[in-house]
């Protein structure tokens, strides 16, 4: 317990409350504010991109990377002005010839997707639009669809570009895969190759996003090894993640031999724009009431609530709806297409509070997310005994994307959850801000100060999916 206590700080690092959003402002007033504050945002992001300590820092421009004019036009249309650090460092190594493998790590929300998407686009020969030449693997259907959308957006001026998702229900049984770029989940990709519906003979690049999760021998590792075994031996392999625990990293080096490596130190892993808080709940049964009390704050922007199981996601959604709150839920038990509808509604802002499991912990990029709640502290290992520091980092990384600010609130209620969060805080050297359920005015103030300043900041660059 003392460990966590020693990491409690006053909210000194919180950004100053926005002076551009008036208290109790109406929706209409807010939209005016959004337009007015765009200058401020550009300046703030420009500041970050000029700050050598920031992961968004770079000294070059995209023009200097030697990408095709169609690709540069795509970046321009997305309002990507300068590369981030990972893009600036990794791209020249990945697009040079002869192709070299890469293992790259960079904090959540710092533009890893565009780094590998630009590489893939620079490698495919669009005179053979239906011949698969690049394969990208992701751990969830949602992330695969998102990456597919990013490729289409960056490549919107590339003639004949066909990008197909290899996820359950997406590939025509009669036609098989007919695209130059394929983004999928490992199980479906394996099925398609085995049924001879996916010709992998001409693949030049294999990208594995969330690579530590994908190569983990306890999880998807075996499938990824099998997929690699089906591909040409000379394929360029690019592995990306925000986290790379040592054991998986050693395996990654065998999976992608002789790779260039871009690694972060443990203390560099957290994103500065995310104010990390925790709520000291009196007991487990009070967690639900506290969650409902936070609802007003959750809907200032959009929020994601992470829970441990599908059943508790369903149960919390049912109770919150019965109590008059509008919330949606998404987890692995839902059918693929209904999952797509739920996430699309969340991206567009039609729904603002999403209850989910670890299925959405990684990679999902919705820039309006200003709050993440860890209703249950992430745990791993047999009997969920060990704190899952990597999943914590990915979950909270659903907010604070590319220089934005956000809040994470982790609920603790007993010694086990307290110790687990304490372990995670010490692991990354995080100073957690304590919230008290007994002083609601103070809690609201601490959270609002951060979220309102994020609400005042419109997208510097509309993200690839237009949300």
Q: Which residues here bind ligand ATP, judged by CB under 6 A?
A: 80, 82-84, 87, 106, 108-114, 242, 363, 365, 367, 397, 401-402, 461, 463-464
Give the residues across from 409 on adjacent strands.
277, 373
Nearer to ligand ATP, 190 or 361 (CB): 361
Closest contact distance (angstroms) between CB of 34 and ligand ATP is 17
Nearer to ligand ATP, 126 or 461 (CB): 461
Question: β-strands 379-380, 386-387: how paired?
Answer: antiparallel
Closest contact distance (angstroms) between CB of 445 and ligand ATP is 29
Q: How far apart are the first and last CA of the chain?
A: 40
Nearer to ligand ATP, 101 or 108 (CB): 108
415: burial class by Cβ within 10 Å (0-12, 13-18, 19+)?
A: exposed
Nearer to ligand ATP, 113 or 302 (CB): 113
- Residues constituting the chain: 467
Nearer to ligand ATP, 80 or 346 (CB): 80
CB 205 within 8 A of CB 135: yes
Question: Measured between alpha carbons, how far is 27 from 7 in angstroms, rounded to an integer?
Answer: 37
CA atoms within 13 A on the CB side of 298: 22
Close Cβ partners of 225 (under 8 Å, ≥ 6 residues apart): 255
Nearer to ligand ATP, 7 or 401 (CB): 401
Closest contact distance (angstroms) between CB of 113 and ligand ATP is 3
Closest contact distance (angstroms) between CB of 441 and ligand ATP is 33
Question: Measured between alpha carbons, how far is 95 from 97 in angstroms, rounded to an integer?
Answer: 7
Nearer to ligand ATP, 62 or 413 (CB): 62
- Give me the phi and psi of 411, to 5 degrees please: -85, 130
Closest contact distance (angstroms) between CB of 234 and ligand ATP is 27
In the three-class reduction of DSSP (H, G, I as helix; E, B as strand; rest coil), residue 261 is classed as strand
Give the residue from 156, 157, 220 showing the smallest Cα distance to 188: 220
Closest contact distance (angstroms) between CB of 320 and ligand ATP is 26
Closest contact distance (angstroms) between CB of 153 and ligand ATP is 9
Closest contact distance (angstroms) between CB of 145 and ligand ATP is 13
Nearer to ligand ATP, 7 or 404 (CB): 404
Nearer to ligand ATP, 44 or 82 (CB): 82
CB 435 within 8 A of CB 449: no
Q: How many CB atoms lie within 10 A of CB 206?
A: 24
Closest contact distance (angstroms) between CB of 106 and ligand ATP is 6
Sign (positive or negative) of CA dihedral 100, 101, 103, 104: positive
- Give me the phi and psi of 200, to 5 degrees please: -95, 5
Q: How many CB atoms lie within 10 A of CB 307?
A: 24
């Amino acid at each position: 317990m003392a460990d966590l206590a020693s990491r409690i700080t006053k909210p000194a690092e919180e950004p100053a409350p926005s002076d551009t959003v008036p208290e109790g402002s109406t929706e209409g007033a807010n939209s005016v504010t959004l337009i007015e504050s765009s200058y401020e945002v550009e300046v703030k992001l420009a500041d970050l991109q000029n700050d050598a300590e920031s992961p968004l820092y770079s000294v070059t421009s995209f023009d200097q990377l030697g990408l095709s004019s169609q690709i540069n036009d795509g970046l321009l249309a997305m309002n990507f002005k300068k590369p981030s650090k990972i893009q600036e460092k990794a791209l020249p190594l990945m697009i040079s010839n002869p192709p070299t493998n890469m293992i790259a790590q960079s904090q959540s929300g710092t533009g890893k997707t565009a780094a590998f998407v630009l590489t893939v686009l620079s490698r495919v020969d669009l005179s053979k639009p239906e011949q698969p030449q690049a394969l990208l693997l992701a751990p969830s259907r949602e992330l695969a669809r998102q990456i597919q959308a990013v490729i289409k957006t960056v490549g919107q001026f590339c003639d004949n570009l066909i990008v197909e998702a290899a996820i359950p229900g997406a590939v025509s049984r009669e036609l098989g895969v007919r695209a130059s770029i394929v983004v999928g989940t490992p199980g479906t990709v394996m099925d398609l190759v085995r049924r001879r519906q996916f010709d992998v003979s001409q693949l030049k690049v294999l990208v594995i996003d969330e690579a530590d999760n994908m190569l983990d021998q306890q999880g998807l590792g075996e499938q990824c090894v099998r997929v690699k075994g089906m591909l040409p031996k000379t394929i360029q392999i690019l592995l990306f993640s925000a986290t790379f625990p040592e054991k998986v990293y050693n395996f990654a080096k065998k999976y992608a031999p002789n790779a260039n490596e871009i690694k972060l130190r443990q203390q560099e892993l957290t994103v500065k724009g995310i104010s990390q808080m925790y709520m000291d709940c009196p007991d487990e049964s009070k967690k639900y009431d506290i969650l409902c009390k936070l609802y007003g704050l959750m809907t200032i922007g959009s929020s994601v609530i992470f829970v441990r199981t599908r059943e508790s996601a369903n149960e919390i959604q049912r109770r919150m709806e019965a109590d008059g709150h509008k919330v949606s839920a998404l987890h692995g038990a839902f059918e693929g297409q209904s999952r797509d509808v739920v996430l699309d509604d969340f991206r567009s802002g039609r729904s603002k509070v999403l209850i989910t499991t670890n299925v959405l912990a990684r990679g999902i990029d919705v820039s309006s997310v200003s709050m993440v709640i860890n209703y249950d502290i992430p745990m791993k290992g047999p009997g969920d005994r060990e704190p899952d520091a990597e999943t914590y980092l990915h979950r909270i990384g659903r907010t604070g994307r590319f220089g934005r600010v956000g809040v994470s609130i982790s609920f603790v209620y007993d010694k086990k959850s307290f110790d687990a969060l304490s372990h995670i805080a010490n692991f990354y050297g995080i100073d957690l801000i304590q919230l008290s359920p007994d002083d609601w005015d103070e809690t609201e103030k601490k959270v609002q100060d951060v979220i309102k300043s994020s609400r005042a900041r419109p997208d510097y660059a509309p993200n690839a999916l237009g949300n």
